[in-house]
Amino acid sequence: MAKRTYVRTAAVLSAASLALFGCSSSDDSSSEDSANSASGGGSAAAETTVSTDCTPEQATAGATPVTTPLVVGTLLPETGTLAFLGPPEVAGVQLAINDVNAAGGVLGQPVQLIPGDSGDTTTDTANVTVDRLLAGGADVIVGAASSSVSLKVIDKIASAGVVQFSPANTSDQFVCYPDKGQYFRTAPTDVLQAQALSQLIAEDGAQRVSILALNDPYGTGLAQNTVDNLQDAGIPSDQIQKIIYDPNAQSFNAEVDDVKNFAPDAVAVIGFEESAKIITRMHEVGIGPSDGTLVYGVDGNMGNALGEAVAKPLLDTMKGTTPLTDVGTEFQDRLKALNPALVDFNYSGESYDAVVISALAAEQAKSTAGTDIAANINSVTKDGEKCTSFAQCLPLVQAGTDIDYDGITGALNFSDSGEPATGSYGKLVFGPENTLTTGGYIVVGE
């Protein structure tokens, strides 16, 4: 089981959290302030609230089990704005399949893998890949990394009776999504990441905070949850500025200038690869991390790819959060054996656990049918006899024992919505060479 350092967060998780998502377009670059917060200028972005107060749909196992080999497809970013997340996720999936097959496979047969690229929302790569995976007989599809990409294909995958298992989706929109009980994720929701991010900001003593967030379900949801948690931590609403921007804009000068005019002592940037342009502009106007401003990132941008895209040492002292557990050097070394070029390990453990959970659920169902696997996923992660690997769990499942798989990412304890009830986050920081180090872990939730 992964080691974790538990840190009490000052923020309070509400029973019915709200996530926000926007309808962005290339000609609708906008900045929007949180309700009753200080003015950041710009025009208001169109946002819709999404309630997480619901009874999630559950899959129902079929009457006749399917005993053909388990086929796992991947829908992971080999190209696009999150391509930096692809290598560790792909390696995590491959390592898990290797371990499952080394332990005897699923239902006595080797698990088969069909790799696939998710691209990003600017292309139709994900739909093309999903069509190919479904045609190839995939029972489980691991991906996508981007919440927006998953939303483009979730209906198609669920309607096919196939499991969609994301290692990196964090948007709250999936909690109550009508997915027929076929969608799962090993990444915790942004309700939890907002708590971890707010903890970092509060620890540094910030009292006036600007939040820059891209206009998509991930960005706007995480931004609003962060606003809520900062207010819960005692920062008045008029000391918080929220600006929502179009990630496809040619320039972010107006948004960054709004931040400078607000004169915050801390800035959180919630974005993807466009974060490089934003932080470069922040430096140009004297509010970048290397200029002494407290600047924070999140899982969408806290990777070494950002360090390569920004001139040294402009990222020096920038901190941030990403779903991460202390997986240990042994696991990282095993990943590097598969891909010696790995420099980031974000979501590698989550990808690994998604495969192992699916394999154990298939064993418990005695079937590789997607609906049968889905009907058993939540139960193999909680309330039973603890086990920490496929090889250790397999004989227990085969003996009819109720198991509780604690994976590479630690205790999972999936809720009815098919996601972890707790979230472990790495406290990341950039150094003067624009490279990342991990300065500890924050665990929030149950």
> What tens digit of pLDDT does each residue of 273-282 get?
999 999 999 9
Residue 385's CB: how many other CB atoms inside 10 A? 12
Backbone angles phi, psi at 347, to 5 degrees: 65, 10
Q: Which residue has the higher pLDDT, 444 or 137?
A: 137
At residue 25, the pLDDT reads 29
Tokens of 261: 């005019």
> What tens digit of pLDDT does each residue of 5-63 get?
333 233 332 322 222 222 222 333 333 343 334 434 433 345 445 677 899 999 999 99
Strands (E), 85-136: 112-114
Residue 150's CB: how many other CB atoms inside 10 A? 27
> What tens digit of pLDDT does each residue of 297-327 get?
999 999 989 999 999 999 999 999 998 888 8
Contact 116, 157 (CB under 8 A): no
**Mean per-residue pLDDT for 114-133?**
97
The amino acid sitting at 310 is: V
Sheet strand arrangement including 319-323: 240-245, 209-214, 266-270, 294-297, 319-323, 422-430, 436-445
At residue 35, the pLDDT reads 35
> What tens digit of pLDDT does each residue of 345-369 get?
889 999 999 999 999 999 999 999 9
**Mean per-residue pLDDT for 364-377?**
98
Per cent of the chain over pLDDT 90 is 79
At residue 344, the pLDDT reads 85
Distance CA 413, CA 75 (A): 24
The DSSP call for residue 117 is: B
The DSSP call for residue 24 is: -
- Which contiguous run of DSSP H or E holds residue 437? strand 436-445
The strand pairing partners of 71, in sequence order, are: 112
Q: What is the pTM of this model?
A: 0.77
| Mean confidence (pLDDT) of the chain | 89
Contact 411, 1 (CB under 8 A): yes
Burial of 35 (0-12, 13-18, 19+ CB in 10 A): exposed
- Which contiguous run of DSSP H or E holds residue 142? strand 140-143
> What tens digit of pLDDT does each residue of 329-340 get?
999 999 999 999
Q: Which of 37-51, 149-163, 240-254, 373-387 is predicted least confidently? A: 37-51
> What tens digit of pLDDT does each residue of 243-260 get?
999 999 999 999 999 999
Q: Which residue in 351, 355, 353 sits closest to 111, CA to CA?
A: 355
Whether the pLDDT of residue 446 is over 70: the answer is no
Distance CA 350, CA 168 (A): 7
At residue 387, the pLDDT reads 98
Backbone angles phi, psi at 71, to 5 degrees: -115, 120
Tokens of 212: 């820059």
Whether the pLDDT of residue 97 is over 90: the answer is yes
At residue 343, the pLDDT reads 87
**pLDDT band, very low/low/confident/very high, at 86 (cuts 50, 70, 90):** very high
3-state secondary structure of 405: strand
Q: Which residue in 213, 216, 88, 194 sits closest to 150, CA to CA?
A: 216
Residue 399's CB: how many other CB atoms inside 10 A? 7
Distance CA 406, CA 310 (A): 38
Q: Is the bond leading into 313 cis (omega within 30 degrees of zero)? A: yes
- Which contiguous run of DSSP H or E holds residue 118? none
**Mean per-residue pLDDT for 149-170?**
97
3-state secondary structure of 9: coil
